Structure 1
């Protein structure tokens, strides 16, 4: 049985939304756990099996998955009928994987560095910079409504999250803001927000 470890108002919220988008929220056991928060509140929860006490964390019998992009890929591959991922052999599989891992390996680090005001040539040489990341998103989203074209995917859910979460603290272009509004105007987002 799939078990999802979740802390409200954290990075795991996007996975909770994904479970609703996939139509499998009732098929996955959700365990709410406590986590240390940036403001000093919270604490590591002994009920959370994540080796670092983080969320999201997903177990499937004796197997486990951590890191949002990996969990999103695992779930969209496990439940392909919803059409939120791209299965092996799909002509958009590479683009789908690229957006998931671009977010995890490039965008989130540069967004955090930009937000904190930290800068170093090694960061921009390795990860790029925030403006370059925004330019890439804008180039795609001025030509199509979602990252993979006309249809919403789990890549949109993951990549739009920080803009929805941090709002004005995340500088963005009009095309990006419109995309974020589309990604937030979904029944699964409303369901999770209400709960």
Structure 2
């Protein structure tokens, strides 16, 4: 059985929502753990096997998966009938993989750095900048309702997360705000009761 380590109202909330979207709650055991929080509360939980005490963390037998994009890919490949991923051979598989890794490697870092008001030429040269990332999202979402076209996918769930979490603190565009509203208007979001 798969075991998912989760701390409410953290990065693992998106994986909790994904599990609901996949209809896989009966096949994945969720273990709630504590984590250190930015406000100084919480702490590392000895019940959490993640080597850094982070969440999300997914374990199956002797194997594990960490980092949200990897967990999203693992679960959508594992539960393809839900249609939230794009399987090998699908004509949008490359786009799907690109959005997952773009989120993890580009967007989340530049969103956090922008929110924290950290700016340096090396950041822009290596990661890009927040405005460029927003421009890319806006270009796509001005043409279609979701990142891969007409249908919601796990890429939308992952990439819309920071806008849901930070709200108006992250500048966006009307097309992005409309997309985020669509992504938040889902049973999985309501079922978790977490932002």
Alignment match, 1:68 = 68
Aligned residues: 194
Counterpart-to-counterpart distance in 1, 2:35 and 2:77: 28
Structure 2 stretches of 5 or more lacking a match?
none
- State the TM-score, normalizing by the size of structure 1: 0.99
Q: How far off is 1:25 after superposition?
A: 1.1
Deviations for 1:145-170, whole angstroms, at most 9, x for unmatched residues? Answer: 00000000000000000101110101
Alignment match, 1:123 = 123
Deviations for 1:36-82, whole angstroms, at most 9, x for unmatched residues? Answer: 00110000000000000000000011100000000000000000000
Alignment match, 2:19 = 19
Q: How far off is 1:105 after superposition?
A: 0.1
* 1:29-178 correspondence runs (5 A): 29-178=29-178
RMSD: 0.6
Q: How far off is 1:27 after superposition?
A: 1.3
Structure 1 stretches of 5 or more lacking a match?
none
- State the TM-score, normalizing by the size of structure 2: 0.99
Alignment match, 2:184 = 184
Counterpart-to-counterpart distance in 1, 2:120 and 2:29: 42
Tell which has more relative contact order, 1 or 2 (C-alpha 8 A, sep 6+). Answer: 2
Runs of 4+ in 1 over 4 A off after TM superposition: none
Alignment match, 2:2 = 2
